[in-house]
Amino acid sequence: MANHKSAIKRIRSSKKKRILNRFQSKTTRNAIRKLRATTSSKEAKKQFPAVVSLIDKLSKKNIIHDNKASNLKSKLAKHIASL
């Protein structure tokens, strides 16, 4: 257990951050899953900008790595092009 006041505060704040990061990651993963499940090209093109925006936000906050974000966006764009 932490002994210093600052360490106790750090534990509290990191717990809040962890919960928020997990929520944002899960939301993005669900959006990606939904986009991949879409069979309509028109609907997929409509969803794509919102999903890319979510991925960019995760990347900007260092929740996921920049290269992973690029790979995800690239694969999604490729998927949409093949519909």
Helix axes 41-60, 5-37, angle to 10 degrees: 160
SS3 assignment for the chain: CCCCHHHHHHHHHHHHHHHHHHHHHHHHHHHHHHHHHCCCHHHHHHHHHHHHHHHHHHHHCCCCCHHHHHHHHHHHHHHHHHC
Where do the structural domains in the chain lie, given as residue ranges? Answer: 28-83
Tens-place pLDDT, residues 21-63: 999 999 999 999 999 999 999 999 999 999 999 999 999 999 9
pLDDT of 2:
83
The Cα–Cα gap between 33 and 55 comes to 13
CA dihedral over 7, 12, 15, 16, signed as positive or negative: negative
At 1, is the pLDDT very low, low, confident or very high (cuts 50, 70, 90)?
confident
Would you state the pLDDT for residue 67? 98
